[in-house]
Structure 1
Amino acid sequence: MTNNGAVPTSSHASPMVDLESISRAKRRIKDGLATRRPWKVMFDFHSMGLPHGVSDAFSRIKTNLAYFRSNYAIVVLNVMFFSLIWHPISLIIFAGLVFLWIFLYFLREEPLKIFRLQINDQAVLIGLSVITVASLLLLANATFSIVAALLTGAVLVLIHALVRKTEDLFLDEEAATT
């Protein structure tokens, strides 16, 4: 039986959106946010104090950077966001870059393929980093604000990592070795 060149139709039209991909992306975002520690633990004032020496300072910084990694990323991203409020074009570029990073680096499970060429994770990381630096520093016209925000975020993170005691933190074995 022929259909005279007509496109065959099905009673079960496939949806425009792949629901499995969306649920997988939601699961990966939740898993990523699950590594965030409670803010109450991060800012427990009873756990603050100056280190006893240089080795204690470096040990605290290393442990706290591993333990509060997601929290520190949120802090730096918020500092960046607030510094770009007065530069709306830069804020739009920043939001676009955040989506690029989320979809091309963090949520991707399969290797990236462009024109049948498989790109490894390291190349994607380098490429996104170059695009981020180039677009924010060259296209955004807010170089001073961006550099100042990154430095401010880094200083805030290092100060917290230095003064937050680590005796009450429970590191899993993977975080302790990184």
Structure 2
Amino acid sequence: MATTATSPPPILPISTTSPPTSSPLSLLISRLTSSLRRSLTLARPWPELLDPSSFSPRPDSLPSAIHRLRRNLSYFRLNYSLFLLFTLSLSLLSHPFSLILLLSLLSAWCFLYIFRPADSPPLVLLRRQFSSREVALILSGFSFFLVFFTSLGSLIIHSLLVGLAIVCVHGALRVPEDLFLDEQEAAAGSVGGGSANASGLLSFLGAAAASATANSASHV
């Protein structure tokens, strides 16, 4: 009796798709969002910062005012940083032209230099090729012109000076006796520059700087 050989079942093709890689710009935005969210979480309670019972009309002397300011800066350093960022954002939103200039400048740096792949062809403008170093020099000159010869630089400086003045007045008028701040933590905050700020609010700047350094090194 003849036996018929059964053929094996057909193997269905399996398509393997690699997960989509996020672009450096989206990675920077997500890191900025997470840093801001973490900073808002690590900040001191805002009612403690604005408690009316903790203010005095004026300090007894200049050393007393400096002592108050140093302790308040060490304790509320992240709150003060967020306040300065809020002051700068409010000033830029109230001047749309300066805001457009700043966004255009940041976009030019991101798309023409920082996030430009190392293996990309040279930038061609008006039938002339520009190397990565030439693009960096042009963007630096353009940035210098926008900051020092337009209203953008004066707006940023004035908004930061106003914010710093408010911070100094608040720190000098608020009595820090209710702040249980360890002296070792205060010394670490004043000498080290505030590790909470570095890990929270502005940590994304380190990633951007590292990306720019790696990009320039790969082009050289």
TM-score (norm 1): 0.59
Give the count of matched residue pairs.
Answer: 138
Q: Which runs of 5+ in 2 are unaligned?
A: 1-13, 108-117, 119-139, 191-220
Q: Secondary structure at the match of 1:13?
A: coil
Q: Which runs of 5+ in 1 are unaligned?
A: 1-8, 100-114, 116-129
For residues 149 and 15 of structure 2, what CA distance do their matches in structure 1 show? 48
For residues 163 and 96 of structure 1, what CA distance do their matches in structure 2 show? 40
For residues 77 and 98 of structure 1, what CA distance do their matches in structure 2 show? 17
In structure 2, relative to structure 1, the CA distance for the partners of 1:168 and 1:94 (3 Å cut) is farther
In structure 2, relative to structure 1, the CA distance for the partners of 1:29 and 1:146 (3 Å cut) is closer
Q: Report the residue type matching 1:69 in the other structure.
A: R
Q: Secondary structure at the match of 1:167?
A: helix
In structure 2, relative to structure 1, the CA distance for the partners of 1:29 and 1:96 (3 Å cut) is farther
User: After the TM superposition, which of the residue ranges 67-76 and 142-151 deviates more from structure 2?
Assistant: 142-151
For residues 157 and 82 of structure 1, what CA distance do their matches in structure 2 show? 16
Q: Report the residue type matching 2:168 in the other structure.
A: L
Tell me the CA shift for residue 59 of structure 1: 0.8
8 A contact 2:65–2:172 mirrored in 1 = yes
Q: Give the match for residue 133 of structure 2.
A: none
Tell me the CA shift for residue 61 of structure 1: 0.6
Q: Give the match for residue 111 of structure 2.
A: none
For residues 91 and 40 of structure 1, what CA distance do their matches in structure 2 show? 31
In structure 2, relative to structure 1, the CA distance for the partners of 1:98 and 1:51 (3 Å cut) is farther
Q: Report the residue type matching 2:159 in the other structure.
A: A
Output one character per residue of 1:21-56: Cα deviation in whole Å (capped at 9) or x when no partner. Answer: 79x946654443333111100000000012222221
Q: Give the match for residue 111 of structure 1.
A: none
Tell me the CA shift for residue 139 of structure 1: 6.4
Q: Report the residue type matching 1:85 in the other structure.
A: L
Q: Secondary structure at the match of 1:11?
A: coil
**Is residue 77 of structure 1 aligned with residue 82 of structure 2?**
no
**Is residue 148 of structure 1 aligned with residue 155 of structure 2?**
no
In structure 2, relative to structure 1, the CA distance for the partners of 1:32 and 1:52 (3 Å cut) is same
The equivalent position to 1:56 in structure 2, one of 52, 55, 64, is: 64
**Is residue 14 of structure 1 aligned with residue 19 of structure 2?**
yes
Tell me the CA shift for residue 16 of structure 1: 2.1
Q: Report the residue type matching 1:169 in the other structure.
A: L
Output one character per residue of 1:65-86: Cα deviation in whole Å (capped at 9) or x when no partner. Answer: 1111121122222222222234
Root-mean-square deviation over aligned CA pairs? 3.6
**Is residue 169 of structure 1 aligned with residue 174 of structure 2?**
no
